Amino acid sequence: MKARVLLKKDQRDFHPWIFQTEIAKIEGEFENGDVVNVHLSSGKFYGVGYINTKSKIAIRLLSLQPLSTEQIVDQRIAEALKRREKLAVGREAHRLVNGEADGLPGLVVDKYGDYLVMQINTLGMEKLKSLIVEKLKKYTSPLGIYEKSDAPARSKEGLEESCGWILGNGPEVLYFEQDGLLLAADLKGQKTGAFLDQLHNSRLCSMFAKDQVCLDVFSYTGNFALHLLKAGAQSVVLIDYSQRSLSIAEQLLTLNGFSNYQIVQANAFDWLKENSRFERFDLVVLDPPSFAKTSTSKDSALRGHKEINLRAMRILKKPGILATASCTQVISEQEFESILNDAAKDSKVLLSVLYKGGQGFDHPFLLAVPETRYLKFIVAEVRRRY
């Protein structure tokens, strides 16, 4: 029998996270990670979620209906797949499950061709792992499922990293076709192997690429560079610190038939600082890491974003195109725009925004949960002041 959690208040706006401060008492025995029933102070049933009293977020809701755990997981995965049916047409790679937005907080599942890559970030989801795998097999029949649970958030849940094939087997690098290009997910690389949330934005950037001299900073395995070259860029310079990522990028560039590129292994901050004295590029893409996983590192993240954007504005020919991103929920959209405005002032340029967006269609977010809206993406024309 599930333990019963009684909340302090008799009403609550929907938010899938219930914090320690909202709980009045817990009745019955439980272990952290177990699924529990949640009730309002009046005793009225409110929902079902999994509990971890060692976390500030004590309960993450799975359902507002009194369903069994198996019913919830089965229903949520089936709904997530249905939600993406139209998006999946002609796409070998896309996100199948996106945490809270698909009613499964702490779980991410990406599809790369015939393989799935799964990431679990919470203790509650960890305890549901075998059930999740069973339902993914039921609905997708993959050749293999790779677990890539290596995010720092796991340590806060008392979990160690867990990476490896949990169903079937496959290669370290998963190749897939998208947008007429051969792309790759590196299972030894970042996130689930590829940045699927940026595919939509890389397509959009390619609209500005024809005959342009381009720079792709924090290039990883070359998603943006490949799209720019396919759209007719004159040339692209790729900058990244990881030799492994650049090796995969070079392989993909060759396999896709491109030769008009230069690969540079370097610290992006150092390279931009050394090279931003001259206006060299028509288009610059900045797709940096999050810089901040928690609010404690927010100030340094703001400084990092201002620095790279200021350098990018200086290295651009005028007018030129800057495509820039921030991929952390710690920095809001307004704060990111303020950073760009400050960098433009210091660079003595005007920034004219042509497009403002975020994560791709297969990475939905909940308006009620601003933390699920993490990616900010802006394409702007940089030109001299009048």
Which residues are designated catalytic? 327
> Are the C-beta atoms of residues 3 and 51 closer than 8 Å to each other?
yes
Residue 286: Cβ within 10 Å count: 22
Task: Show the CA angle centred on residue 364, arms to residues 308 and 353, nearest 5°.
Answer: 40
